Amino acid sequence: MNRFYSSFMIILLLTNISFAKTGTSNAKKLELINIVSQQQILAQRITKAYLYAGKKISVDKANRQLRDALSSFYKTYSTINTSTKSPKIRKIMTFIKKSSIEFKQLSKKPLNSKNSKLMLTLSEKVLAKSKTVAVLLKKSLKKEAYESVSKSGQQQMLAERIAKYYIAYQSNSKDKSIEKKMKASIAQFSKNHKNLMKNKGNTRVIKRKLQEVDKLWRVVSKLYNGRKLSSIVFSSTDDISKKMKEVTKLYMVEYR
């Protein structure tokens, strides 16, 4: 009896250790995917803040946001680079490091058509590369966990991207490619928002946070036709991004 009990306890202990390791591993992977999402967000925020400051809109806030985003962008690169041994990801991180330098250099230059296009192009390249990193990291994670965390992180990025293209569109409404990207970002945010609202894993707190986002989004999604609403868009999309960051953290706790 004692021998059976001892064997049972050993098996139970080893099982608990196995579950603990799996939980820790999932938590680390989700955290890294969240950092990759932050990298995408920051690339959009840097460009958005540069454009808003250059157009003399919310100048102090935009300049402060630009400085903070540039600093945080390099930190995300450093964290991801030191947290993986994947040759493919490390190669992409070399590009991200170079992009961090380019962002800093461009941010110091005066806003004009050329520099604006360079910033927009660079932010889109970083976005594409970071998405590739996220795909490489998602292997072995549960589909529900990955999609909830990555989609809520994507919402933060899209809020910044919408604001970025909003000011670019106001500056040059004849540029149909900018208008197309802005409208595509608005459509993607709306689609993601509906999917997240329907997520069966939503807790009561997550549902409440998403309802708060819903109220803000109903206003922001209709503003792109306006000509004098840049400050409202800047502030409202910031609020949405902050609330979605809280939602992302809540999902990470749920699925760790």
pLDDT exceeds cutoff 60 at 105: yes
Higher pLDDT, 9 or 94: 94
What is the per-residue pLDDT for 19? 36
What is the per-residue pLDDT for 232? 84
Cα–chain-centroid distance for residue 69?
12
Amino acid at 237: T
Mean pLDDT of 89-94: 95
Residue 11's pLDDT band (cuts 50, 70, 90): very low
Dump pLDDT digits (tens) for 150-182. Answer: 999 999 999 999 999 998 988 776 788 998 999
27 neighbors 256 (Cβ within 8 angstroms): yes
Neighbouring C-beta atoms of residue 23, cutoff 10 Å: 12
Mean pLDDT of 18-43: 76
pLDDT exceeds cutoff 80 at 235: yes
Residue 223's pLDDT band (cuts 50, 70, 90): confident
Q: How far apart are CA 205 and CA 211, in angstroms?
A: 10
Torsion of CA 133, 122, 163, 176, to 10 degrees: -110
**pTM exceeds 0.95:** no
Cβ-proximal residues to 205 (8 Å cutoff; 6+ apart), any chain: 250
How many CA atoms lie less than 13 Å away from 163 in the CB half-sphere?
A: 34
DSSP H stretches of helix in 138-229: 143-171, 176-198, 204-220
pLDDT exceeds cutoff 90 at 227: no
Q: How far apart are CA 77 and CA 151, in angstroms?
A: 21
Dump pLDDT digits (tens) for 55-88. Answer: 888 899 999 999 999 999 999 999 999 998 899 9
Q: 109 φ, ψ to 5°? A: -90, 150
Q: Domain boundaries in the chain?
A: 30-255
Average pLDDT taken over every residue of the chain: 86
Go through the chain and tell me how many residues it has: 256
Give the pair of three-digit tokens for residue 93: 């991180």
